[in-house]
């Protein structure tokens, strides 16, 4: 999954980014509302983590404009305010969930999983196509009776394909989804990950097709 963290506390932001990357997520960090809008204008995210007190404004105003623009990306608010009225206000503005600072990272992980499940419209998170089953949240791939071990970006790439079988993904789009702005990569990295996935999918009902000049597509689903 690709997350955007909007948080001005440098130490907290660094700790959250490190932990979420260890969990296998791609994370971009913005320290201001202005930067947050800039990130959202240039890439797609699965989840936003939003602080309230930011140097150039109130995160609630950001949340309000985010929802007014019909942006459906789920938002978890990180707030130091614990009053019931504040929490109700955040939910009414369009937050999908909130966490009161300080919080345990394990709880943040659990709330992220819950919000992402709700976004998919079901508690069941396993992606199943033919004899291939992928549980992205548990990082588990099975092909028939075989359990397959995947590296993180291989797993996230397969998740993208299995969420949209038949859709063509350009190399640029895949780079955007698999890497953060801070990563120094080229589109050639995608060829490496696709090649690895193809080896894993040998003798399965799925295959990854190359469309010259366009990108890649998952077939056989």
What DSSP string runs through 167-212? -EE-HHHHHHHHS-TT----THHHHHHHHHHHHHTTTSS-EEEEET
In a domain, 128, yes or no: no
Q: Which two tokens stand for residue 26?
A: 């791609």
Q: Return per-residue pLDDT of the chain as tens, 221 residues.
A: 899 999 999 999 999 999 988 888 899 999 999 999 999 998 889 999 999 999 999 999 999 988 888 888 999 999 887 778 888 888 898 899 999 888 888 899 889 888 887 776 544 568 889 999 998 877 789 999 899 888 888 998 998 899 889 999 999 999 988 888 878 888 889 999 999 999 999 989 999 999 999 999 999 86
Calculated CA dihedral for residues 70, 75, 78, 79, nearest 10 degrees: 40
**Based on the structure, what is the number of domains in the chain?**
2
**Dist CA 46 CA 32 (whole Å):** 19
In a domain, 139, yes or no: no
- Same domain, yes or no: 6 and 115: yes
Report yes or no on whether pTM surpasses 0.85.
Answer: no
- Same domain, yes or no: 15 and 104: yes
In a domain, 23, yes or no: yes
Neighbours of 160 (CB within 10 A): 19
């Amino acid at each position: 999954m690709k997350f955007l963290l909007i948080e001005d506390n440098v130490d907290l932001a660094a700790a959250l980014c490190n932990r979420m990357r260890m969990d296998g997520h791609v994370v971009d960090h913005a320290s201001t509302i202005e930067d947050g809008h800039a990130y959202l204008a240039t890439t797609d995210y699965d989840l936003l983590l939003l602080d309230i007190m930011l140097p150039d404004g109130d995160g609630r105003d950001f949340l309000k404009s985010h929802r007014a623009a019909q942006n459906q990306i789920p938002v978890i608010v990180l707030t130091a305010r614990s009053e019931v009225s504040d929490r109700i206000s955040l939910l009414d503005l369009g937050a999908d969930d909130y966490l009161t600072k300080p919080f345990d990272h394990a709880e943040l992980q659990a709330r992220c999983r819950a919000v992402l499940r709700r976004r998919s419209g079901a508690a069941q998170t396993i992606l199943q196509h033919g004899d291939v089953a992928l549980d992205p949240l548990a990082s588990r791939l099975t092909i028939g009776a075989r359990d397959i071990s995947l590296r993180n970006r291989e797993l996230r790439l397969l998740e993208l394909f299995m969420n949209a079988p038949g859709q063509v993904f350009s190399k640029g789009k895949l780079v955007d989804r698999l890497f953060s702005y801070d990563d120094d990569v080229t589109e050639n990295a995608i060829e490496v990950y696709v090649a690895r996935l193809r080896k894993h999918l040998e003798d399965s009902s799925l295959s990854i097709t190359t469309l010259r000049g366009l990108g890649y597509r998952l077939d056989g689903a």
